């Protein structure tokens, strides 16, 4: 084997090592050696070469230590499989909807760079999506500042308490101490699912109503956090209303969501062929008319007054149509 062949094999192995390091947070030398089909000595030598090329590979000593790709002054190239590259390109396009301000130019720039390096076959697939998909939005999305969005996302990931200036639906601004958990998107709106420290309760905060954010750097551990999507659904479709009802739909979970979307109530399976939905309404009369309009034979579990109003409503309809 000549020097050129050895150099190509070595370069290919370095790219494979870089790809493996990106796959998960940490690897031991023996795990890397097994994955790459080389010795641990070769792994250590290749790690040294990556460092000399500017890639920040950190090492943890000891029996439980290992290697991980650290943060450096510049971002190393991402090595993506074909389907991953297509998913990133499509995701970037969907991200350019204007809901997070300050990212439009960055999204377009990233798409352009990705388009330049995609193989022809993949580029054709991505362009087919870009050229044939159109958006029909019910309304323009609530715009969220990009720096606020990333600050909240980092606080969620790192488990750090924050203080936020928040304006409620009545227009009253307060400062809240919260332990952030997840960011949830529902249609044109973004929510923060978080534990309110002073109220000792889980809350959802609309991102477009959050003013300044101060990260306290105080680490927090959240015990038994709720499903963030369910928390947002309850905040949208149940808690704001004076009346709440539990309804049993003779439908699977997927079919029930076609009748009552998750933005209008909290769903819980009741066996394989039924779903219980907790939903809210302004009063018993309008709630009964809404239930009657849904279509399926829905059983009202609670409250009793809704069952009575629904019977009266259906009886009136039957009497008007002998």
Q: Give Cα separations from 176 to 144, 149, 180, 190, 194 (angstroms).
A: 19, 17, 11, 18, 11
> By percentage, how much of the chain surpasses pLDDT 90?
37
Domain 3-69 fold is: Arc Repressor Mutant, subunit A (1.10.10)
210: β partners: 166
In this structure, of 17-21, 101-105, 294-298, the range with the lowest mean pLDDT score is: 101-105
What is the CB neighbour count within 10 angstroms for residue 5?
9
Write the pLDDT tens digit of every residue in 292-304.
999 899 999 999 9
DSSP tag of 27: B
Where are the strands (E) in 45-129, listed by range?
A: 57-60, 66-69, 100-101
Cβ pair 181, 224 in contact under 8 A: no
> By percentage, how much of the chain surpasses pLDDT 70?
85
Write the pLDDT tens digit of every residue in 152-167.
988 898 889 999 999 9
More confident residue, 23 or 151: 151
Q: What is the pLDDT of residue 306?
A: 95
What φ, ψ does residue 261 adopt, rounded to 5°? -65, 160
Residue 89 has pLDDT above 70, yes or no: yes
Can you tell me the distance from the alpha carbon of 238 to that of 263, in angstroms, rounded to the nearest whole number?
Answer: 9
The tokens describing 69, both together, are 């790709």
Q: What is the pLDDT of residue 5?
A: 46
Q: What is the pLDDT of residue 122?
A: 78
Write the pLDDT tens digit of every residue in 34-66.
988 999 899 999 999 888 887 888 888 766 668
Q: Give Cα separations from 282 to 18, 56, 243, 247, 290 (angstroms).
A: 57, 58, 6, 16, 11
More confident residue, 113 or 146: 146
Instruction: Kindly give, in sequence order, each residue whose CB lies less than 8 Å from that of residue 205, ignoring residues fewer than 6 positions away.
Output: 164, 166, 176, 178, 191, 192, 194
What are 157-160's contacts with CB under 8 Å, separation 24+?
158/219, 159/219, 159/220, 159/221, 159/222, 160/215, 160/216, 160/217, 160/218, 160/219, 160/220
Can you tell me the distance from the alpha carbon of 242 to that of 260, in angstroms, rounded to the nearest whole number?
Answer: 19
Which of 192, 191, 189 has its CA nearest to residue 178? 192
Write the pLDDT tens digit of every residue in 255-284.
999 999 888 889 999 988 999 999 999 999
Q: What is the pLDDT of residue 72?
A: 60
Out of 2.30.40.10, 3.30.565.10, 3.30.70.360, 2.30.30.520, which CATH number does the structure's domain 144-223 have?
A: 2.30.30.520
Q: What is the pLDDT of residue 65?
A: 65
* Per-domain residue ranges of the chain: 3-69, 82-132, 144-223, 238-320
Domain 238-320 fold is: Alpha-Beta Plaits (3.30.70)
List, as one string, the DSSP characters of 121-136: HHHHHHHHHHHH----
Q: What is the pLDDT of residue 91?
A: 77
Which uninterrupted H or E stretch holds 202? strand 201-206
Cβ pair 275, 249 in contact under 8 A: yes
Prediction pTM value: 0.62
Ramachandran quadrant class, 246 (left: phi over 0; alpha: psi -120 to 50; beta: rest): beta
Can you tell me the distance from the alpha carbon of 5 to that of 188, in angstroms, rounded to the nearest whole number?
Answer: 54
List, as one string, the DSSP characters of 260-299: S-GGGSEEEE-SSS-EEEEEEESSHHHHHHHHHHS-S--E
Can you tell me the distance from the alpha carbon of 56 to that of 182, in angstroms, rounded to the nearest whole number?
Answer: 29
Which of 280, 284, 294, 309 has its CA nearest to residue 249? 294
Instruction: Label residue 9 by pLDDT band (50, 70, 90).
Output: low
More confident residue, 240 or 113: 240
Can you tell me the distance from the alpha carbon of 129 to that of 96, in angstroms, rounded to the nearest whole number?
Answer: 14
Which of 166, 141, 144 has its CA nearest to residue 153? 144
């Amino acid at each position: 084997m000549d020097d050129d062949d050895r150099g190509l094999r070595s370069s290919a192995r370095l790219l494979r090592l870089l790809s493996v390091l990106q796959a998960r947070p940490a690897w031991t030398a023996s795990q890397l050696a097994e994955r790459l089909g080389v010795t641990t000595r070769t792994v250590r030598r290749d790690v040294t070469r990556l460092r000399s090329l500017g890639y920040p590979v950190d090492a943890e000593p000891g029996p439980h230590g290992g290697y991980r790709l650290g943060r450096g002054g510049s971002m190393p190239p991402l090595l993506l499989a074909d389907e991953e590259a297509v998913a990133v390109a499509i995701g970037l396009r969907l991200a350019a909807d204007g809901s997070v301000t300050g990212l439009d130019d960055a999204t377009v720039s990233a798409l352009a760079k990705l388009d330049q390096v995609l193989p022809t076959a993949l580029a054709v697939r991505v362009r087919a999506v870009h050229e044939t998909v159109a958006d029909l939005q019910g309304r323009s999305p609530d715009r969220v500042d990009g720096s606020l969005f990333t600050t909240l996302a980092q606080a969620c990931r790192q488990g750090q308490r924050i203080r936020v200036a928040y304006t409620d639906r009545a227009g009253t601004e307060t400062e809240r101490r919260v332990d952030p958990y997840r960011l949830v998107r529902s249609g044109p709106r973004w929510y923060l699912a978080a534990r309110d420290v002073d109220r000792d309760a889980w809350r959802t905060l609309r991102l477009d109503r959050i003013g300044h954010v101060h990260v306290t750097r105080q680490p927090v551990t959240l015990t038994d956090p709720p499903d963030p999507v369910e928390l947002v659904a309850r905040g949208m479709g149940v808690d704001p209303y004076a009346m709440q009802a539990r309804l049993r739909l003779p439908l699977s979970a997927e079919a029930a969501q076609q009748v009552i979307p998750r933005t209008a109530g909290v769903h819980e399976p009741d066996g394989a062929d039924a779903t219980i939905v907790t939903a809210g309404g302004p009063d018993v009369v309008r709630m009964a008319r809404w239930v009657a309009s849904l279509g399926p034979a829905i059983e009202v579990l609670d409250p009793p007054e809704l069952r009575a109003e629904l019977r009266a409503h259906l009886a009136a309809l039957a009497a008007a149509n002998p």
